[in-house]
Copies of this chain bind each other. A is one copy, B any other.
């Protein structure tokens, strides 16, 4: 079995079982923890310009890598509790997005992009 989602899921399940942490891992709590981790990831960028955010130094990148992992791990854990197949959900969502944002209509204009996005 080489599916990375499945492997990470199983490793987290074991990790959590060994610590008796399942009692804290309701979907509600996991969704809260996920948002907190996403905010910590965002914090790495908040005082940087967009250009600076593309040129992180090694120290910044190490922090970012850890936060990306935290978001991913809580997402896998939450999806596991709800029996959601993340990969399948992503492909289904990409199809919806392709219908919602037809390339020929939204291409090239920031105005169109943001007005599309804000009218979702």
Contact = CB atoms under 8 A, between A and B. Distances in A.
| Copies of this chain in its oligomeric complex | 4
Contacts of A108: 20
B84 A64 contact: yes
Interface in A6-29: 8, 11-12, 15, 18-21, 23-24, 26-29
A32 to B, nearest CB: 4
B54 A66 contact: no
Interface of A: 2-5, 8, 11-12, 15, 18-21, 23-24, 26-29, 31-51, 53-54, 56, 61, 63-66, 68-73, 75, 78-79, 81-82, 84, 86-87, 89-94, 96-98, 101, 103, 106-108, 110, 113-114, 117-118
